[in-house]
Structure 1
Amino acid sequence: MSEKSRICIVGGGFGGLYTALRLSEFPWQNGAKPEITLIDKSDRFLFSPLLYELITEEMQSWEIAPPFAEILANTGVMFQQGSVTDIDIEAKKVTVDGDITIDYDKLVLATGGKTPVDIVPGAKEYALPFRSLNDAFRLQEELRLLEEANHDKIRVAVVGGGYSGVELACKLAARLGEKGRIRIIERGEQILKDSPDFNRETAIEALEKNHIWQDLETEVAQLEAQSISLEYKGQTDVIPVDLVLWTVGNQISELVTKLPLEQNEKGLLKIEPNLLVKGRDDVYAIGDVADCYDAEGNPVPATAQVAFQQSDYCAWNLWASATNRPLLSFRYQPLGEMMTLGVDNATISGLGIKLDGSMAYIARRLIYLYRLPTLKHQLTVGLNWITQPLVELLSS
């Protein structure tokens, strides 16, 4: 790379932001540090594993969504807020909001995905995804309106029996209490099918304890304003519902799928082991947009943990290519899985550890505190966690 080399990172999720932060820490030679630009449509980074805590108001939005300007202060990384409207791979230009052009020498695609809610008739109109800060705010408002209406019961359907669906259902049960009538709709034979047995069994216990119904081997046929049609073994039932949350599927943005880059049948970008897009020496792909595999040839899950690990390799390889060092092949290391199961309850499984209940709840919080992007934010959030019980006690 020349002295004026430029690295452009599209997407400020776990993959994009942590790549930028890691790049800013490398020992670049005098004057050789590139211009690093991070682009995201939001002004805030979202620590998505803690998004569920907003439902029960265990955490506040500022704790899990600090501004990029605050995170990137004193790092030398430039932040550009806006929606990327075009990427010209050959000209090496990224266009933001139709009129802002950013030139690059190296490009990192970390745009993530979105939850498709147009698969089933009525889902686009009546189902809520739960993936962004705005999704959480919208859900909070819907819950507030339902609670203020003072119904005898609030009927909620959560579509998808994976981690997101189970965590959502348990947090909703904790918030709604006896008023809640919650069901998880899963097309497979069991919830959390790819999870460790310990996590699955602990989750099933939590669902049963919270009286959360499991509709297994069940498909959603249609949504209406106040009902959901479910298909089970050829039979269709129409069930009244106040709120439907959609947690299944991952859709890659058209911005990425229309690029002249190799893709698999799902639109994921095919990459080399070093995270470079196949056929390119200037474009990296990480996170939900990358068709990535572990050492055994199995596809890695689309999780924050994977994107976090990829960011280290991506940053290293960008630095290595600039300093004539060898590029590293990505090696995914499963560090275990954590899941919140309501208030003061969670489960952790991995690296020989199995924890559930309040101890797992505390451990999960502390692990995520350590993963927050900057030391300053870690200290601010940690101090708030310590002092909040005292504030509540004094104000009671």
Structure 2
Amino acid sequence: MSNPTYQTLILGGGFTGLFTALHLAHTHYPRTVILIDQEDRFCFKPLLYEYCSGEMETQQVVPRFEELLDGSGVIFVQDTVQSIDLRQREVQLTSGTSYNYSNLVLALGSVTGYFGVEGAQENSLPLRSREDAIAIDKQLRDCLRQARQTADLEQRRRLLTTAVIGAGPSGVEMAGTLADLLPRWYEALGGNPQEVRVVLLNHGQEILQGDINNALREVAEQELRKRVVPVEFLMEAEATAIRHDAVEYQRHNQQQTLPASTVIWTTGTNTHPLIKALAVPDEDRDRHGRLQVSPTLQLPNFPEVFAGGDCAAQQGANLPPTAQVAYQQGAAIADNLKAMALGYELQPAVVNLRGTLLKLGLDNSAANIFNSFEVTGEVGHLIRQGTYLELLPTPIHNLKITTEWLKDEIFRKHLDTADGSKTAVRAMEVVGGVVVGAIVAKKLINALSDQGKSAS
């Protein structure tokens, strides 16, 4: 058992956990910091669609923790948390190792929620990790190859139909990406791309209903219908069962079936089991079972414990589960940990939302900047990419990946063309878009950083 004196444990290496660790390292925090995660790689979840589609590489979207933490002084432990004892200040790992702590940061995120839908967990595919992206890629390519080889029209239609369950931001981004990607893959195999179907099935009446991205609903609907194959909308349809080759759903009081060989599940999350198992009173949880934390992001009865991200609900704030929220909460937790260590007064975490970003197809996104104006198309794509690349966890990784992205956007995609007469014009258009994207992204990140500094 390790010495708990001046030791801070961070459980979970998602956005909140990793950014907390890195902020502590950058501010010369006087205590040992140990980050524990069951995976060996950080997953930049907003860019998983680019990883799934091949637009970005492994090291860009899922870099190793060892690379990101190199030289930071943060100790990384790859292991799975088995239990957390808040009263004894002890964390037990499945390997048998246990750690005591002086401070604890809970950043375990959430888990996929299937809400009791029969067969959903067994027969559908989520997209929350690198492994999920690999599984989706394999499933889709296998279906396309089988479809190309079958003469049975009904079977081919089933193989070429992908159902996306849930029309929140994840479902919308997935549907838009696949509606561009799958026809191209199938055409490369010699198939008819117009046979491909992408169906977005949703319980509600409209996409992005009640979501922070709702302001982009109309433009999202328009763009999804402009993909290589238009996304089909199946609204007011409640999935009741997921089979290995079909989705059963209820719509307008009628039970119906959608034949589909691939079903991707994007409709909601559940509170992490370790968070549910914590010995905290019900009044310190919200209706989803998440931890209710004070404005300083501390547990009410355990002030040495902080929590942020998807596993926590901040008092007085209704915050969406987005990267910009996690980024700011990580900085706030780090600032308050340092203040606690030095005997200073802790400050409330102020999270300022600066707009939304939504991927709507290959090289196509919508950006709602500061809730004031919208940018769509390729410039929207460049703003989205630039903003997320600015959020990459370390300056070295940021510089490396941004350079690779710029090279890919300008040179590989637009200068390596057969039509030399249009090359220079197209290159200038893209460079202009990159500049616009970089400027807006920089303003967004500077605004977030300034907000974090003013709160500390």
Both proteins in one fold, TM over 0.5: yes
Q: How far off its partner does 1:4 sit?
A: 4.2
CA distance in 1 between partners of 2:174 and 2:234 (Å):
16
Q: Deviations over 1:132-181 (max 9, x none)?
A: 11111110111111122234541011111110000000111111123420
Question: Which residue of the partner structure matches residue 319 of structure 1?
Answer: 338
Question: Which residue of the partner structure matches residue 73 of structure 1?
Answer: 70
CA distance in 2 between partners of 1:332 and 1:170 (Å):
29
CA distance in 2 between partners of 1:187 and 1:140 (Å):
26
| Conserved 8 A contact 1:3-1:34 | no
Q: How far off its partner does 1:124 sit?
A: 1.5
Question: Which residue of the partner structure matches residue 295 of structure 2?
Answer: 273
Structure 2, unmatched stretches of 5+, are 149-155, 184-192, 419-456
CA distance in 2 between partners of 1:113 and 1:155 (Å):
29
The alpha-carbon distance between structure 1 residues 72 and 89, as it changes in their structure 2 partners (threshold 3 A), is same
Stretch of structure 1 that moved more, 353-362 or 189-198: 189-198
Question: Which residue of the partner structure matches residue 237 of structure 1?
Answer: 256
Q: How far off its partner does 1:277 sit?
A: 0.8
CA distance in 2 between partners of 1:195 and 1:328 (Å):
26
Aligned-pair identity in percent equals: 33
| Conserved 8 A contact 2:248-2:256 | yes
Question: Which residue of the partner structure matches residue 355 of structure 1?
Answer: 375
Q: How far off its partner does 1:372 sit?
A: 0.4
- Is 2:208 aligned against 1:192? yes
Question: Which residue of the partner structure matches residue 18 of structure 2?
Answer: 17
The alpha-carbon distance between structure 1 residues 3 and 40, as it changes in their structure 2 partners (threshold 3 A), is closer
Q: Secondary structure at the match of 1:149?
A: helix
CA distance in 2 between partners of 1:391 and 1:345 (Å):
18
- Is 2:320 aligned against 1:304? no
- Is 2:226 aligned against 1:206? no
Q: Deviations over 1:31-79 (max 9, x none)?
A: xx11100000100001111000122211112111111011111111000
Question: Which residue of the partner structure matches residue 183 of structure 1?
Answer: 199
1:371 to 368, 388, 391: 391
TM-score normalised by the chain length of structure 2: 0.81
Would you say how many aligned residue pairs link Structure 1 and Structure 2?
388
Corresponding letter in the other structure for 2:102: D
Q: Deviations over 1:247-284 (max 9, x none)?
A: 11211222111111232332101111110011111111
For residues 129-208 of structure 1, what are the structure 2 equivalents within 5 Å?
A: 129-151=126-148, 152-153=156-157, 154-177=160-183, 178=193, 179-193=195-209, 194-195=211-212, 198-208=215-225
Question: Which residue of the partner structure matches residue 264 of structure 1?
Answer: 286
Corresponding letter in the other structure for 2:337: L
Question: Which residue of the partner structure matches residue 8 of structure 1?
Answer: 9
Question: Which residue of the partner structure matches residue 451 of structure 2?
Answer: none
Corresponding letter in the other structure for 1:183: V
CA distance in 2 between partners of 1:299 and 1:394 (Å):
47
The alpha-carbon distance between structure 1 residues 168 and 21, as it changes in their structure 2 partners (threshold 3 A), is same
Q: How far off its partner does 1:299 sit?
A: 1.8
Q: How far off its partner does 1:385 sit?
A: 1.9
CA distance in 1 between partners of 2:165 and 2:241 (Å):
12
Q: How far off its partner does 1:196 sit?
A: 5.0
Q: How far off its partner does 1:346 sit?
A: 0.4
CA distance in 2 between partners of 1:4 and 1:277 (Å):
20
Stretch of structure 1 that moved more, 144-153 or 171-180: 144-153
CA distance in 1 between partners of 2:96 and 2:182 (Å):
46
Q: How far off its partner does 1:375 sit?
A: 1.2
Stretch of structure 1 that moved more, 153-162 or 74-83: 153-162
More helix by share: 2
Corresponding letter in the other structure for 1:17: L
Q: Deviations over 1:295-348 (max 9, x none)?
A: xx4521122221111111100010001112111112221110001111121001
| Conserved 8 A contact 1:129-1:246 | yes
Q: Deviations over 1:220-268 (max 9, x none)?
A: 0111111111111211111211111111121122211111123233210
Corresponding letter in the other structure for 1:205: Q
CA distance in 1 between partners of 2:416 and 2:384 (Å):
27
| Conserved 8 A contact 1:198-1:354 | no
| Conserved 8 A contact 2:246-2:261 | yes
Question: Which residue of the partner structure matches residue 356 of structure 2?
Answer: 337
The alpha-carbon distance between structure 1 residues 3 and 124, as it changes in their structure 2 partners (threshold 3 A), is closer
TM-score normalised by the chain length of structure 1: 0.93
Stretch of structure 1 that moved more, 106-115 or 179-188: 179-188
| Conserved 8 A contact 2:4-2:99 | no
